[in-house]
Structure 1
Amino acid sequence: MAPRDMLDFFVILVVATSVIATASCKLSPSYYQSTCPKALAIVRAGVAKAIKNETRMGASLLRLHFHDCFVNGCDASILLDDTPSFVGEKTAAPNNNSVRGFEVIDAIKARLEKACPGVVSCADIVALAARDSVVYLGGPSWNVGLGRNDSTTASRSLANTSIPPPTSNLSALITSFSAQGLSVKNMVALSGSHTIGLARCTSFRGRIYNDSNIDATFAQKLRMKCPKSGNDNVLQRLDIQTPTHFDNFYFNNLLQKKGLLHSDQELFNGSSVGSLVKTYACDSGAFFKDFAKAMIKMSKIKPAKGSNGQIRKNCRKVN
């Protein structure tokens, strides 16, 4: 082969290798099609079983994905248990005695390990479980990109600072979501996940006693359940109308000053962001469409790929 031909061949080879490497780094809904064809069905069945047993679990699995992705990306770091030599994210303030669904992920992972050992990552299970929970409760579906690895590390400190608390004002919310590459529209749409699930008294006590942007009757009823001290773990619906059905009523509640959390009502508190709240309150189709887009975008936050991370055999510990 002539030197010129060898050079051309080398360039083609480098380009081809680069294309293959780039493609392999992308998440794909069909990632397990050949290596574990029953993977999606197994996750879906596990989610359905869990929600049938406890309807609230759908919201918990959705929240688990959110809290995972906001700390070093969607890498299942939130699932790692603490050990004598390791402090993970479960005991961080936003997660401790609050984030749930770990046993559901464990059960799904166990089934997947029997069907195709060492193939499906815990991070992908969490992403799929969030989507399947929303669909099961009447919300929109979307294609979940797959192919993430699981992290071998976690960050308690980042979990304490990266996940926006329920006391956040609008400016802090925008900053938190922007830090993850998410727009204001993404933020408002994702906040609509509070159309399902429950919150503890400790999460909304400050709002019902201190906020002025709240319906007086609504606040008074909540004060009867959540006094200024005590009853910390009393639960209240995030959506006062349909807490077990994924719909747009959450946004209607905000228009009536009946958002449960301070951070919820901040979305409709005299700012331009309120126009999005009005749109979603009037048009469930627009909300569903934007929510699905935002979930796809959030699920792509810094996924561990290639030589980064591993496929954990047990979601609670590193191999």
Structure 2
Amino acid sequence: MIYTVTFNPSLDYVIGAEKLEPGKINRTTRENIYPGGKGNNVSVVLSNLGHKSKALGFVSGFTGEALEKMLDDFGCYTDFIQLDNGFTRINVKINAGEETEINGQGPKISEEAIGKLYEKLDVLTKGDVLVLAGSIPNTLPEDIYERIMARLDGRGIRIVVDATKDLLMNVLKYHPFLIKPNNHELGDMFGVQLETDEEIIEYAGKLKEMGARNVLISMAGDGAILLDEHGKVYQGRPPKGEVLNSVGAGDSMVAGFVTGYLNTGDYEKAFELGIATGSASAFEYWLAEKEDVVKLLKKEPELYGL
């Protein structure tokens, strides 16, 4: 089973407008509401590609109920912990020539609720996949990722971590199966500005030396680079297309990579499917569906288990 954890999920109110003028009434040209949060994005795309996953995290209020129903409609299992305060946040994503985001705070998460999450994670067994994705709200311990990975260490669980700076650096000692910083985040981790693919590969290698098994570096329009656990380096450029939305593209890449690896056991195919899936989401107004991904693959979809 694949599990995803989203510590501060959301409903994403995604709107388009001709332009955004502060201080004035602005009219939308399109609007949708989607389940949000990096782990939830991964779960939705996994479902679109044929893999059921169980979404974990914390929800509250009427917005939490709506979130769970939406994820269920997208074919995801959910096992959220219900909080007794506040409501699941609403994030506003505005595309009016450029992307603007207004993200809510979310409810307070108690020690008791954290304990319930640990109990749910304790059922994971060898061969399961756990995706830890995104930032953590300020009501959670700063080392929550470390606590989870220490608790599950040595049990043969393949853990994927998509987080920034210290959240990521501090878990490398637990040998995550996959980490996915982008090129800018990679530079920030080491206090350098990375200009070339060679520099990116060099510093991604340092993350491997520190414990990561596989390092996937996303580079937006410049594609991605993978350093796999066998020492091979893969580089790929994205297919051509009009970028309509960048929200969730990185999460889609993670879902595509996990799908490709589980289907084939081949890192090259996982990498190729990751790039195609991330690009497919960028070329849509929301997360990619299977047919969107298949259109961008350079090889027959059967080779990726699709």
Question: Do they superpose with TM above 0.5?
Answer: no
Larger radius of gyration: 1
Structure 1 length normalisation: TM-score? 0.25
Provide TM-score, normalisation by structure 2.
0.26
Structure with larger RCO (C-alpha < 8 A, sep 6+): 1
Structure having the larger proportion of residues in helix: 1
More strand by share: 2
